[in-house]
Chains A and B, each alone.
Chain A
Amino acid sequence: MPEKIIVADNIVKTFDEGQPNEVRAVQSVSLCVFEGEIVAFRGPSGSGKTTLLSLLGCMCKPTSGEIIVCGERITKWSEHFLTMFRRKHIGFVFQNFNLIEHLTAYQNITVPAIPLGLSSREMKLRVHKWAQILRINHRLAFPINLLSGGEIQRVAIARALMAEPELIFADEPTAHLDTKLSNELIEIFSNLKDYGKTLLIATHDPIVYGSKIVSRIIDFRDGHIVESGA
């Protein structure tokens, strides 16, 4: 029986609380994610999927409620400890890739490993390992502005894997990809599952949530979970 890797209990996230422009992005959400699962958060733009990923990914703290990630109650932790925890356990693939311009693919992939204090040899080994799995090892020396959309996406995934996290969070990963590249990405995610990674994907792309690799779809609307099922 797989272990629970994420547990969220009645979490709420309110922006600009008490102000006229107050927004309740996540409202009373409870869920759990098991090790090795690929969970898709499905919902329209503005439904709160990205905010929920940020909360579960220790990027920000909930206004109320409790979150447990990898067995740790992280809700009351300081920003510094959340960062330390995130760098070890969680990798992010952003909607807009968020790579650093004018650096090469190799240099971008190493960014999360820099504060870890890894030796250059260890970094090189890790970069080449994931670059080979993601089939971008021949493009490592290229600046990212010379790479195709699919290659850039794979560089972003390799960067998320650089610190060898158990959890991968992907926010609208196919937003800038065509159908062919989206299918390739699904294949990559499937490979990551084989490596024991747990994936949480926020998406409204049927190619992603309709694929066989997704263990569970959680429907999200107006900050609420509408439906959760396999």
Chain B
Amino acid sequence: MSRWINILGFTTLLLKRYWRSTLSLIIVYSIIVFAFASVLMFIQSLSYEAGIVLRSLPEVWVQRVIGGRLLPIDNDLTAGLAKIRGVSCVHQRVWGYYFDEGTGGVFTIVGSDSIPDGLTIFAGKGLTSFDTAGVAVCGTGYLELHGVSIGSDIILTDTERHLRTLRITGVFTSSSDLITRDLIVVPYGEARRLLGIGNTSSTDISIDVTNPDEVETVVRKISQRIPNVRVVTREQLISTYQSLFGYRGSLFLFGLMISLLAFMILAWQKASGLSSKEQREIGIQKAVGWSIPDIMIQKFCEGTIISFNATLLGLIAAYCHVFFFGAPLLKPFLVGWSVVYPDFHLLSHLELSSIVLVFFLSVIPYLAATVIPSWKAAISDPSEIMHA
């Protein structure tokens, strides 16, 4: 044990000798790990949040599509849909996007006579079926951007350019910022006015299916019976999101892998082309009684100190970047412009497997690049140092 401690102490001495180059190496190494880990954490957290969001969606919903455009769907279809075998419940949904000229933010307006499933009120009170107009329950994004709180009046413009004054009665809280951050829930009538949807139509119609195994059958029946509609299932949306995040993330990770590879090649070249000074030092160590395993232990310690510290530093920086600062360097590329504003905070969700993956991809290649060339130098004849 004391042999290991002695060798570790000696390794630290050697690293401290050229502390500037050691520090530079650790910094460059950390930046690469930081970028790689940031993407990994961001995608993972986004997928996790998307999972939470998607769980609150209905199993099936029906939209009206004419010429490829989405249009409000007639409420008359509700009765027909409810009669389809396997359908347990049908809801008309009124929702849409609202561009807030004052702040440049895009908010989601949802018409409801209660608090939607899965959401809870953080402060104040929710909506009731007695509320028909003039009230709203908001996500924290709207409140922060406008500097308002519960009890304040907010003014929204409807599609006829009339101003609508709404009193904030409650604020949402949720396990995910992604769900509620940009949300404004108002009574149905108010939502119709703000979004320009008449009383005889809705944005879409959601459907609950009695047996989840029969979703595909129900979808087929709807498509066959009702023309000009698009039927979307929760599973389709989950798969779309996964593909989207996977695609964007993969593009990024691919680029980063190339950077990582380039770094590893450089590290390998540096290590494999051990400088004459390093080779000489290995020769000296051998000549004064260091065995090949002793030198391997020293090089292993050296590689571990650099790669472990750089990886740890990169991981901590990535964690802070993604979860404390909201990934400002990645969000524009990985999320897309439409949901960038108002901002949202990602949940601190990190899987052990990701940490292990980052360590595996970062530490192992570097250790190999350090230890293998040193081993080649260490197996040389120690008498060579006598002639040096």
**A residues at B contact (CB < 8 Å):** 50-51, 53-54, 59-60, 79-80, 83-84, 86-88, 91-92, 94-96, 98-103, 107, 111-119, 159-160, 163, 171
A118 to B292, CA, bound (A): 19
Distance between Cα atoms of A26 and B65 in the complex (Å): 95
Complexed CA–CA distance, A107 and B14 (Å): 10
Kindly provide the distance from the CB of B61 to the nearest chain A CB, expressed in whole angstroms: 71
Contact B294 A115 (CB under 8 A): yes
Are the C-beta atoms of A115 and B291 separated by less than 8 Å? Answer: yes
Of B18, B281, B288, which one neighbours A87 at CB under 8 angstroms? B288
Beyond A80-B291, A103-B17: 7 further Cβ-contacts under 8 Å?
A84-B291, A95-B386, A96-B388, A101-B277, A112-B290, A117-B6, A171-B386
Task: Give chain B's interface residues, CB within 8 Å of chain A.
Answer: 1-3, 6-7, 9-10, 13-14, 17-18, 277, 280-281, 283-292, 294, 379, 381-383, 385-388
A117 touches B386 (CB 8 A): no
Is the Cβ of A87 less than 8 Å from the Cβ of B289? yes
Residue in A80, A112, A113 whose CB lies within 8 Å of B292: A80
Contacts of A84 in B (CB 8 A): 291
Q: Do B289 and A50 touch (CB < 8 A)?
A: no
A27 to chain B, nearest CB (A): 17
Residues of B within 8 A of A59 (CB): 287, 381-383, 386
28 contacts between A and B (CB under 8 A): A53-B386, A59-B382, A60-B381, A60-B383, A80-B291, A83-B290, A83-B291, A84-B291, A94-B386, A96-B388, A98-B280, A98-B283, A98-B284, A99-B284, A100-B14, A102-B17, A102-B18, A103-B14, A111-B288, A112-B288, A114-B7, A115-B290, A116-B289, A117-B1, A117-B3, A119-B2, A159-B288, A163-B289
User: Whole-angstrom distance from the CB of A45 to the nearest CB of chain B?
Assistant: 11
In the complex the two chains form, what is the Cα distance from A102 to B14 in whole Å? 9
CB nearest to A87 among chain B residues: B289
**Max chain A Cβ within 10 angstroms of own Cβ: one of B10, B13, B383, B387:** B383
Set of chain A residues within 8 Å of B284, measured between Cβ atoms = 98-100, 111
Residues of A close to B386: CB separation below 8 A: 50-51, 53-54, 59, 92, 94-95, 171
Contacting pair A79 B292 (CB below 8 A) = yes
Set A80, A88, A94, A113: member contacting B287, Cβ < 8 A? A94
Complex Cα gap A94–B288 (Å): 10
Contacts of B3 in A (CB 8 A): 114-117
Closest to A59 in B: B383
Chain B residues closer than 8 Å to A111, beta-carbon distance: 10, 284-285, 288, 290
Q: How far is the CB of B290 from the nearest CB of chain A, in Å?
A: 5
Chain B residues with CB under 8 A of A50: 386-387
With the chains together, A50 CA to B387 CA distance in Å?
A: 8
Contacts of A100 in B (CB 8 A): 14, 281, 284
Q: Given the known inter-chain contacts A96-B388, A103-B17, please indicate yes or no for A83 contacting B2, CB distance below 8 A.
A: no
> Are A86's CB and B289's CB within 8 A?
yes
Contacts of B6 in A (CB 8 A): 113-115, 117-118
A114 proximity list for chain B (CB < 8 A): 3, 6-7, 9-10, 290, 294
Q: Which residues of B contact A80 (CB under 8 A)?
A: 291-292
B377 to chain A, nearest CB (A): 14
* Chain A residue nearest in CB terms to B13: A107
In angstroms, Cα B387 to Cα A87, docked, is: 20
Nearest B residue to A80 via CB reads: B291
Closest to A160 in B: B288
CA of A102 to CA of B19, assembled, Å = 12
CB atoms of B292 and A98 under 8 A apart: no
Contact call A92/B17, Cβ cutoff below 8 A: no
Residues of B within 8 A of A171 (CB): 386
Contacts of A53 in B (CB 8 A): 386
Closest 9 CB pairs of A and B: A87-B289, A54-B383, A117-B3, A59-B383, A60-B383, A112-B288, A115-B294, A117-B2, A114-B6
Q: Give bound CA distance, A91 to B289, whole Å.
A: 9
- B387 adjacent to A118 (CB under 8 Å): no
Contacts of A115 in B (CB 8 A): 3, 6-7, 289-291, 294
Bound complex: CA A79 to CA B292 (Å): 9
* Complexed CA–CA distance, A85 and B288 (Å): 11
Interface centre among B17, B18, B288, B385 (most CB of A within 10 A): B288
**Closest residue of chain A to B11, judged by CB?**
A114
Q: Which of B1, B13, B379, B382 has the most CB of A within 10 A?
A: B382
Residues of A within 8 A of B382 (CB): 59-60, 83
Contact B289 A94 (CB under 8 A): no
Q: Which residues of A contact B383 (CB under 8 A)?
A: 51, 54, 59-60
Which residue of B has the minimal Cβ distance to A53? B386
What residues on B are CB-neighbors of A98 within 8 Å? 280, 283-284, 287, 385, 388
User: CA of A60 to CA of B380 in the docked complex: distance in angstroms?
Assistant: 10
Inter-chain CA distance A112–B291, complex, in Å, is 11
Residue of B nearest to A163 (CB): B289
| Residue of A54, A96, A116 with most partner-chain B CB within 10 A | A54
Contact A92 B292, beta carbon cutoff 8 Å: no
Residue in chain A with minimal CB distance to B290: A115
B2 touches A118 (CB 8 A): yes
Within 8 Å CB of B13, what residues of A? 103, 107
CB closest chain-A residue, reference B288:
A112
* Cα–Cα, bound, A103→B13 (Å): 8
